[in-house]
Amino acid sequence: MTRRDIGTDDPRVRVRPGKGTRPRTKKRPSFEDAIPGLVTAVDRGRFTLAIKGQTASVQAVKARALGRKGIIVGDRVGLEGDTSGTPDTLARIVTLQERTTVLRRSFDESETGTKEKLIVANATQMLIVVAAANPEPKTGMIDRAMVTALDAGVKPLLVITKTDLDAGEGLTREYEKLLPVYLLRREDYDATPSSTVPTGVPATTTTPPDPSPLVALKAALEDEVTVLLGHSGVGKSTLINALVPSAQRVTGQVNTVTGKGRHTSSSAVAFSYRGGWVIDTPGVRSFGLAHIDADGLLAGFTELATIAKDCPRGCTHREDAPDCLLDSHPECRARVASFRHLLAEIPKPY
């Protein structure tokens, strides 16, 4: 480095360093020390996060560095600031990890056109929840949810609740070939966990009964990130409470006038469960598929996609398509009708 000429050799004369030697702050901070967290709830710009190995949840806001990037439940982020979870402390979300999956639905806004809503990030499974009765199950909803899941690379599972009101056999028959089906019994929800069986009770020597569907479902949730989706009033929150008693989700009565449940929760919330996460969501009213194209829709009807492989070249598989092979499988009639009903929602590519 050359010395600047300061007009004198007197060593007692000192000058302040010029502007050019000031450290530059152009380089963005790398946030290498950010603490990893998982977003468990979002409420108007406030985020609740879980940090591995820490019981207390953390409240945080989004740092300026993230710009307009949206953050949703299930997102894995980097945190700075006070991450102790002490009441009245606030951390900052400084980084957002790339999502492995995103579940989205589109909905119609008559003035602004179709909009898209992100439901949850990084889910590995979707638990489609329907009630065997009250509210009546809608197969269209199940089909839509399956399409959404498969399009996002998320594994769909079907849970049928309220089997005390209706056995749910028809639904089971229709769907058990397509995805795992769990016919849950509410009496299993309150069964005493084996770890809390009081001592002094004589051990039974008879062979244990078949594990209940709830036990099988619990095993399927292990180490997975599972989002529960279904109409309001089908029993999602009741099931979450059975799985995670500390969740204390508010459950609502089904409105006897409209048959629709009241909306008792306003956004998704994640609960830690057996090495993974279960995510309760508010009841979805609509499940638009505008973000999915015709091929994506067909891929969501796995058994129909297999049949349609041999359709004439360029077959649209629509009602008016000549020689569409979907018409020669009467055993699939209901699903073909459902597929074509949804296809009509998707704009033709020309």
Cβ 59 vs Cβ 47: under 8 Å: yes
Q: Is 236 assigned to a binding site?
A: yes
237 interacts with Mg ion by CB under 5 A: yes
Residue 321 CB burial class (10 angstroms; 0-12, 13-18, ≥19): middle
Q: Are 162 and 133 in contact (CB under 8 A)?
A: yes
Contact status: 59 vs Mg ion (CB under 5 A): no
Q: Is 81 annotated as a binding residue?
A: no
Q: CB nearer to Zn ion: give 65 or 294.
A: 294
Residue 161 annotated as part of some ligand binding site: yes
- Under the criterion CB under 5 A, does residue 281 sit at the interface with Mg ion? no
Peptide bond into 135 cis (omega under 30): yes
Which lies closer to ligand GDP via its Cβ, residue 172 or residue 238? 238
Cβ 130 vs Cβ 183: under 8 Å: no
Is residue 195 near ligand GDP by the rule CB under 6 A? no
By CB under 5 A, residue 247 contacts Zn ion: no
Q: Exactly one of 42, 244, 294, 315 binds Zn ion (CB under 5 A); which one?
A: 315
> Two tokens at 167?
């056995």
Q: Which of 335, 135, 105, 339 lies closest to 227, judged by CA?
A: 105
Q: Which of 155, 186, 260, 291 binds ligand GDP (CB under 6 A)?
A: 186
CA Rg, the chain, in Å? Answer: 27
CA distances from residue 148 to 88, 103, 238, 286 in whole angstroms, order as listed: 39, 7, 24, 12
Q: What is the nearest approach in angstroms of Zn ion to the Cβ of residue 321?
A: 5
Tell which residue, 139, 123, 135, 239, has the closest CA to residue 179: 139
Question: Is 163 annotated in some ligand binding site?
Answer: yes
Residues 6+ apart with CB under 8 A from 202: none
Q: In degrees to the nearest 10, what's the CA dihedral of 80, 42, 214, 103?
A: -100
- 329 belongs to an annotated ligand binding site: no
The site for ligand GDP, by CB under 6 A, has a size of 20
Which does residue 162 touch among ligand GDP, Zn ion, Mg ion, none (CB within 5 to 8 A, set by kind)?
ligand GDP
Residue type, 9: D
317 binds, among Zn ion, ligand GDP, Mg ion, none (CB under 5 to 8 A by kind): Zn ion
State yes or no: 2 annotated in a binding site: no
Q: Is 291 labelled as part of a ligand binding site?
A: no
Residues 240-299 that bind ligand GDP (CB under 6 A): 251-254, 261, 264, 283
CB closer to Zn ion, 140 vs 312? 312
Cβ of residue 157: shortest distance to ligand GDP, in angstroms? 16
Taking CB under 6 A as the rule, does residue 8 contact ligand GDP? no
Q: State how far Cα 22 lies from the chain centre.
A: 48
Binding site residue list for GTP:
161-164, 230-238
Binding site residue list for Zn(2+):
311, 315, 317, 324
Binding stretches for ligand GDP (CB under 6 A): 161-162, 164-165, 186, 230, 232-238, 251-254, 261, 264, 283
